[in-house]
Structure 1
């Protein structure tokens, strides 16, 4: 015959609050307290993001594999300068084999490869893993993120392009070349590579921010840098061969590296790298157009990055 007795250990029908035998549940006060320290705010967050991005551009704080390519490219940028210095000192040359303003133009392929490898590394992973909104959940805004990333890549590029110039400058002083001339040339070279760093960083980041796929970003940056320079150089050579030297400087406005080359020819005392030499270099009036174009592209890149990250940060 069935009984209404409950199973051992279950609550009695009229007393559901009875604790089953052996239950050791306890509530402990482990002392959680609210944070009472200093609030470092947006400026600290922006500096931290800049520092982390700059270190990442050379693989610092990352795996050994991540350090190989940027460090290799840095060495490739510096070795020719060191060789030129050794030759100048050993043979007692009266001037360096290459002008300070011309060095980055010669090494443009290495610079473009560095931008192609590091711009996607800086932004593509945040887009791919959708971590951008997490940045904006802290006291940091879209403009802070964009400026930190832009400044970090531009700084990394400046280190890449200015260090060989420093090697040339120190070598020139060791070779006892004229101090005033070398200092002037070194300063002009620094201005040139500073503008180049800002321009290349802006272009690289805009292209890399379009896609979360790092491989696509690398290929697109290389294509833009290479195809634009090849097309502009070809058109300039055709114009010079046909006697249209006046068109050569205007054609130079359509490639990042020829923009820098024309600007430094007009205002920084550089020898023209355009076909036809000095006769096809931009005048001061055309040089103003070059300056406006460079600054306009830098500003446009910043604006496009702001627009992109306002969209993906929502």
Structure 2
């Protein structure tokens, strides 16, 4: 005769009675997780390799400049703070191309965005957290070398007031660059759930636009169209930053013949940069209105 072994188990489901931290906590957590992920922290060892290498590559030239300045007792740095990001733009572009898709493409590919929005977090929280994290990651990448240069200049006993002013101008420049590049990179990456396509889109947007603008500027300069040189810089993210810092932050221009924009055209450059930052946010909000359903 068989024995009935049926049992009813009480597995103890209970209502959650702990603190409810709400949207602000969820937004901060998503920001922190995304920022850490931009440098491979909390992920596999393989994920840390590229961002850490690129961070080191960004800092090595600054260390070399500082070593030379201290050893030779220079009175000023051979590389301006505002020129450093322009000098290392290829590294910045590569970092953005690698990390912007990582920040958003996986959520799109595996359709986890609706899961975020099923909790006390809304579309604006997701976009702000991702945008803020990507911009902060870029600011760390571009700001760390400037801090190294500043500390080195003080160790070399250069003029404190001059170096502090130049350092502040450089930091304003990289803040604008980080916001602009972060927005553009996330927009390109959010267009597709395929990470490879996102990488290609970011590289194409930054590299092709800069190459095209630089070529046309050189042609305009060579043919005597000097007035066109300053306006052509409006069509590439890196030349936009170059124009803003040339007009308002006392930087030397990388335009042909150093024909950077003055204060008048510089206002247009600044307005275009701010418009692109706001526009990137608006495009991301529109994009996640659809994928969040």
Q: Please, what TM-score do these two structures have when normalized by structure 1?
A: 0.92
Partner of 1:220: 201
CA distance in 1, matches of 2:7, 2:44: 45
The structural deviation recorded for 1:241 is 1.1
Residues 22-78 of structure 1: CA distance to partner in whole angstroms, max 9, x if unpaired? 112232434322111111000000000000000000000011100000000000000
CA distance in 2, matches of 1:160, 1:255: 20
Partner of 2:45: 64
- Secondary structure class of the residue paired with 1:212: coil
Which one of 242, 254, 274 corresponds to residue 273 of structure 1? 254
* 1:51 and 2:54 are equivalent in the alignment: no
Which one of 30, 42, 56 corresponds to residue 75 of structure 1? 56
CA distance in 1, matches of 2:78, 2:216: 28
Partner of 1:294: 273
CA distance in 2, matches of 1:157, 1:30: 47
CA distance in 2, matches of 1:98, 1:115: 24
Considering only CA atoms, is the larger Rg found in Structure 1 or Structure 2?
Answer: 1
- Secondary structure class of the residue paired with 1:126: helix
Partner of 2:262: 283
Which one of 75, 86, 100 corresponds to residue 119 of structure 1? 100
Which one of 116, 130, 133 corresponds to residue 114 of structure 2? 133
Segment of structure 1 superposing worse, 219-228 or 80-89:
219-228
- Secondary structure class of the residue paired with 1:276: helix
Q: Please, what TM-score do these two structures have when normalized by structure 2?
A: 0.99
* 1:160 and 2:141 are equivalent in the alignment: yes
* 1:178 and 2:151 are equivalent in the alignment: no
Residues 228-250 of structure 1: CA distance to partner in whole angstroms, max 9, x if unpaired? 00010011111111111111110
Partner of 2:176: 195
Partner of 1:105: 86
> Which runs of 5 or more residues in structure 2 are unaligned?
none
CA distance in 1, matches of 2:11, 2:56: 54
- Secondary structure class of the residue paired with 2:20: coil
> Which runs of 5 or more residues in structure 1 are unaligned?
1-8, 10-20
Higher fraction of helix: 2
CA distance in 2, matches of 1:268, 1:308: 35
CA distance in 1, matches of 2:19, 2:70: 55
Alignment CA distance shift 1:30-1:227 (3 Å): closer
CA distance in 1, matches of 2:7, 2:197: 55
- Secondary structure class of the residue paired with 2:42: coil
**Which of structure 1's runs of 4+ aligned residues deviate more than 2 A?**
26-32
Which one of 17, 41, 45 corresponds to residue 22 of structure 2? 41
* 1:147 and 2:134 are equivalent in the alignment: no
Corresponding residue pairs, total: 293
When the two chains are superposed, the root-mean-square deviation of aligned CA atoms in Å is 0.9
The structural deviation recorded for 1:313 is 0.6
The structural deviation recorded for 1:217 is 0.7
